[in-house]
Amino acid sequence: MADKLLLFLGAEWLNVYPWRRGQLQGEQQKFSNDVSGHTGFAVLLKNHPKATCYLLTDLVEEDFRFESIPHVSGKDRKDIVHRKFEQFYRNTPFRHAQTLYREQVERRDDMILFSALTNPELVSPWLDIMLEHQASIAGIYSVPLISKQLVNHIASSHLLLVTWQKYSGLREIFYRDGNISFSRLIPLVGTGAITKSLQIELNRTYKYLSSLSLLPINEPLDVCIICSKDDKNELQEILQDSDSERYLFEDIDVLADRIGLKVNLIDSDATPLFLHLLGRRPPANQYAISDYMHFHDLWKARVLLKIAAATAALICVTWSGINLWETSGLHQDTKSISAMKSSIVAQERQIEAEYPRFPVSVDRMKARVSVIQKLSVSAQLPKQFLTKISQKLQDFPMIHVNSLSWRVTSGSGAVQKSDRRLITQSSLSNTYQEIIIGGEVLSSINLRDTIDSIHQFRHSLDKAGFSVTPVTMPINLDSGASIAGDLDSEKKHRGSSFVMKVAMSRQGQTESH
């Protein structure tokens, strides 16, 4: 099955050449432009459903026009080109615009070659058949527009290229400064004897170019003729160089070797040369519109999706390989670290074994040190507490302190006396200082004065932010208690004693700072 189908369209015949592995291979098939030819071509497309089709035309009904347009780009350029197409080639969809060069004077406009296949009825039937069979049409091309590749090696500012195609005719293409300026097709179909008519047609073309003032001044016109060895010998006798014309005869076999064509050429038919150029390195589409290239665009989209999928898969595989390599390295590092850890643990145990024995275990020593550190940070001293109590006692000289005890408590026992509990920062923050004051009221006239003095001292401590709780008073004022005394009670109650508990929380101590 062919990779490509190279189609050569003349005025009467469509010739199909299979392309495999970079070369024209197999027999060509010829189809006439009638019902039988269309049927045969449809069968051929069914046999090659995956082949990409390239259509090369060589028709008399191909027109060329040269026009300069402003040097713009984007949508503006597209609009100008479209208006020129509508002006020149309104009745055909097969139109092409090619920029030749930019002028160097005045506005420096772009010189554009406008061309078109002016008889679409010669092309459309074949394209419709290809669309019906969902053939992939890569483009429609023209012999004059791709022929420059055959004469790139010839250095000439004014060159006339002459080729003969068996199923279209004698093609003359005039190049001026490397750009196509004129093309003409003379129908000479079905004959291999081009020598009889060539001299006459060259004279006509020379006169036409002269009338357009396209010929070089004081220099001969270079005429390049591609032909076989037999035709070359005959033409060299007929066509002699003169002051107006200089002939260059290109051996078609030598030219085929130069472009890499490996087909045995038996005559001067240059059709295989053009098809090989098209199949090996096809240029951008020239005449095909998007409607005809629909299935080719779908094929390109599928190819791009496959490339994208393959690229994504390659990236994933590469990334997975990198991850596996990194994982292997990390695994080795883990083993090395584990071995190092085991070695350090063994050394630690050996060092511990060499230490002298202590009556207390290391863990208990560590716990005691931790407790000491926490207590050193959170230790509470009674200096500030006692200073405030002393300041308040100065306001009550009749009260004499007989005893005083201080401790830190959390409400459930003294914290600093417990060495078996876990001391935490939260537990220390909930502790408070507590002082138990034992005293008496001196120079008291009666029991009422004694109790009033004690209550005033208590209220003074309350206002200072302390929590005061009476423990014992000169008289029990509870509702359930009984009151007893004698006539000498007033004397006894002078200097009556009391005991009260004064507390200051840790938060209050912090705020006082």
- Residues 271, 164 share a domain: yes
- Position 69 in a domain: no
313: pLDDT strictly greater than 60:
yes
Domain CATH for 177:
3.30.420.260
Using the 3D structure, point to which of 238, 266, 292 is the last residue of a domain.
292
Domain CATH for 477:
3.30.70
- Position 68 in a domain: no
Domain count along the chain: 2
Tell me the pLDDT band of 195, cut-offs 50, 70 and 90. Answer: confident
Whether the CB-CB separation of 46 and 40 falls below 8 Å is answered with: no
- Residues 126, 221 share a domain: yes
Contacts (Cβ under 8 Å, ≥6 apart) of 423: 371, 374, 375, 415
Q: How far apart are CA 402 and CA 390, in angstroms?
A: 13
- Position 507 in a domain: yes
- Position 315 in a domain: no
> 18: how many CB neighbours lie within 10 A of its CB?
21
Identify the domain containing residue 265 by its residue range.
4-61+119-292
Q: What is the DSSP string of 267-324?
A: SSB-HHHHHHHHHHS--S-SS--TTTTHHHHHHHHHHHHHHHHHHHHHHHHHHHHHHH
Contacts (Cβ under 8 Å, ≥6 apart) of 178: 148, 157
- Residues 397, 278 share a domain: no
Average pLDDT estimate for 367-375: 79
Using the 3D structure, point to which of 292, 307, 333 is the last residue of a domain.
292
- Position 306 in a domain: no
Whether the CB-CB separation of 117 and 286 falls below 8 Å is answered with: no
- Residues 275, 152 share a domain: yes
Tell me the per-residue pLDDT of 263-296, one tens digit each, with 9 for 90 and over.
888 889 999 999 999 999 999 999 999 999 999 9
440: pLDDT strictly greater than 80:
yes
- Residues 144, 31 share a domain: yes
Where does 166-303 show beta strands of DSSP type E?
169-176, 179-186, 221-227, 245-251
Using the 3D structure, point to which of 260, 292, 324 is the last residue of a domain.
292
Contacts (Cβ under 8 Å, ≥6 apart) of 505: 432, 467
- Position 25 in a domain: yes
Q: How far apart are CA 254 and CA 251, in angstroms?
A: 5
Query: Could you tell me which of 460, 488, 483 has the C-alpha nearest to residue 473?
Result: 483
- Residues 387, 284 share a domain: no
Contacts (Cβ under 8 Å, ≥6 apart) of 401: 393, 437, 438, 439
Q: Which residues pair with residue 214 across a beta bridge?
A: none
- Residues 30, 150 share a domain: yes
- Position 369 in a domain: no
Q: pTM value?
A: 0.64
- Position 311 in a domain: no
Tell me the per-residue pLDDT of 338-354, one tens digit each, with 9 for 90 and over.
999 999 999 888 887 77
Burial state string for 333-367 with b = 16 or more CB within 10 A and e = fewer than 16:
eeeeeeeeeeeeeeeeeeeeeeeeeeeeeeeeeee
